[in-house]
Structure 1
Amino acid sequence: MRIACWQAACEPGVPRMLDRLRQAAASAAAGGAELLITPEMSVGGYPLGRDSMAAAAGPADGTACRAVEGIARAADIAIVHGWPETAGAALHNSVRLVDRNGSGLAAYRKTHLYRPAEPHFTPGGDGVVQARLGALKVGLLICYDVEFPEAVRAHALAGTDLLVVPTALMTPWEFVARTLVPARAFESQLYVAYTNWIGVNEGIRFCGLTTVAAPDGGLTTVDEPGERLLFADVDPAVIAAARATTTYLPDRRPELYGPVTAH
């Protein structure tokens, strides 16, 4: 499957972001991609001010999410997008996968919150959220989640082929994209698509470095600090070969460290 990661300039505002998403989806589809992946909280921008938060927030069947569904149908491409999800009195940092027909396949609520920037969100309670898209089992995490190896390994053990990670990685944490993301892909033997913002918003400077890391150590990265689409191919044969060559998953001995990781 050919995917496209949209490294987007962070320009907050729901109407503006939806217009730009519409253009990105059309360009990704024209480039042969079947799936477009956007940064963290892509409907509205990150971090969201009070007005933008109010405009973007809603349930999975709310106005913002329905708008993305329409964009997916019009461009004939599946889309992963983020938004502030309301659920009763709680507010979640969420991401959603919709298929090319605009049907919602999966939604995930960020479980590991970066507290300095996200005090108003409630953490989600489901660690592994997946959906089948074509020949691939696609899993969802958000930003800080990928920095916990247990979160990625849980996806690998559940059979995730492509782990999609919208992010809002800021300077000076570039090593997360350069070092941790490729390590996660290699040690858990799956693809990781890590899609970031670029530019400055609310005093935060985003570092870009959108990356698709393969399970065999292959790497496709946006090194230049600008907005662009990063195209990459996710090949199930590469996953199978990597898992046969580097047998981390069957060689695990969870009986030795299970009690440690449980606390």
Structure 2
Amino acid sequence: MCWDDGMVDPAPTDTGRAPADEPAARPAVRIAVAQRVPPRYGDPPALRRLATAATDANGADLLLVPELYPAGFRLDTDELAELAESRESFAAHLGAVARTHRIAIVAGYPERGPDDTVYSSAIFVDADGTELAHYRKLHLFGDETAAFGRGHQVPPVCRWRGWGVGLALCYDIEFPELARLLADRGADLICVPAGNMVGYSEVPEVLVPARACENQVFVAYANYCNSDDEFDYDGHSVVASPYGSLLAEAGQDEPQVLMVDLDPGLQAAARAHNTHRNDRRHDVYRGPDPTIG
């Protein structure tokens, strides 16, 4: 089941959470967060690099790779136009890798829309190659606004192995509203393909753990490291727990695969300990503005 693009949100329960499996009813899952050196223009085909990442993630249930993974993070519109793929094409390629390696995959990619607009998008496929969710980045940073179209749909939350999995892309996770929306729609895990540059280390160090803690969810954040023809990347891919602690963290310069077991019991304990979501004052937030009139 997936709550996606044009679909109506599930009605929240009295606790403010969308219907979801109780943590105790879910199995533990192992995720692999692949920090990678970005490809340069003309590097080997994307499928080869995806297959290598899937091989390195052997033993995991789900693999997460960075933003715009087949092309690398680039803003040159001519290069993007050449490297972008349709949703159907990339889903087929990603599904083939997933089936071969028997692993679910979340990957960012440059999507060529029906009108040739290029979007920074993400696809989630199951281990049998079935597409579970698709998402176009909502928040564009700086020069991205000239290179990409903006997404306009609510980000999806899908049920996978009893877990609610939400998607966000890089800059998105810096907005607390988006993470809270995903949590309210039933997310237990938010997967974030990223292309974060040097100079913004507060994202993995502060903001990702904050998003995890304030929503009592796991957040997995896969970034590039080292450099390409255009940018230097911050690395520091992380997996944050529902308490906001880091379960794993990569360095800045070297490729690495973080293998992390996600324990539903840890999430249940965090939800019992931190009650931010239940204690919200919707009567104030959503009521009339007292400063007007």
Is TM more than 0.5 here?
Answer: yes
The 5 Å alignment of 1:167-246 reads: 167-219=194-246, 220-246=248-274
Q: Which amino acid aligns with 2:146?
A: P
Question: More deviation in 46-55 or 19-28?
Answer: 46-55
Asked if 1:81 corresponds to 2:76, the answer is no
CA deviations on 1:58-90 (whole Å, 9 max, x unpaired) are 22112x332221111111101111112122223
Aligned residue number for residue 11 of structure 1: 39
Contact 1:110/1:141, CA 8 A, preserved across alignment: yes
Q: Could you tell me which amino acid in structure 1 is paired with residue 34 of structure 2?
A: W
C-alpha spacing 1:48/1:68, structure 2 compared with 1 (3 Å): farther
* 1:47–1:201 CA contact under 8 A, matched in 2: no
1:106 aligns with 2:133: yes
Which secondary structure does the structure 1 equivalent of 2:36 belong to?
strand
Q: How many residues align?
A: 257
Q: Determine which structure has greater relative contact order: mean sequence separation of CA pairs < 8 Å that are 6+ residues apart, divided by chain length.
A: 2
Q: Secondary structure at the match of 2:186?
A: coil
Q: Give the Cα separation in 2 of the matches to 1:58 and 1:2.
A: 29
Post-superposition offset of 1:57: 1.4
- Which of 54, 58, 62 is the aligned partner of 1:25? 54
Q: CA RMSD in A?
A: 1.7
- Tell me the secondary structure at the aligned position of residue 242 of structure 1: helix
2:94 corresponds in structure 1 to: 68
Aligned partners of 2:75 and 2:147 also within 8 Å: no
2-side partners of 1:84 and 1:203: how far apart? 17
- AA at the equivalent of 1:5: V
The answer to whether the 8 A contact 1:36-1:80 is kept is: yes
Shift, 1:52, TM fit: 4.2
Q: Is the 8 A contact 2:140 2:171 kept in 1?
A: yes
**Structure with higher helix content:** 1
1:76-155 to structure 2, matched below 5 A, reads 76-89=102-115, 90-155=117-182
- State the partner residue of 1:258: 286
Native 8 Å contact 2:225 2:252 kept in 1? no
* Contiguous gaps of at least 5 residues in structure 2: 1-28
Q: Percent identity among equivalent residues?
A: 38
Q: State the Cα distance separating 1:228 from its structure 2 match.
A: 1.1
Structure 1 residue runs of 5 or longer lacking an equivalent are: none
Q: After superposition, give the CA deviation of every residue in 1:25-76 in whole Å (9 maximum; x if it has no partner).
A: 02212xx2000000001111111545642343122112x3322211111111
Deviations 1:9-39 (A, max 9, x none): 011347433212201102212xx20000000
- 1:255 Cα deviation (Å)? 2.5
Q: 2-side partners of 1:123 and 1:182: how far apart?
A: 26
| Higher deviation after alignment, 174-183 or 16-25 | 16-25
AA paired with 1:23? Answer: T
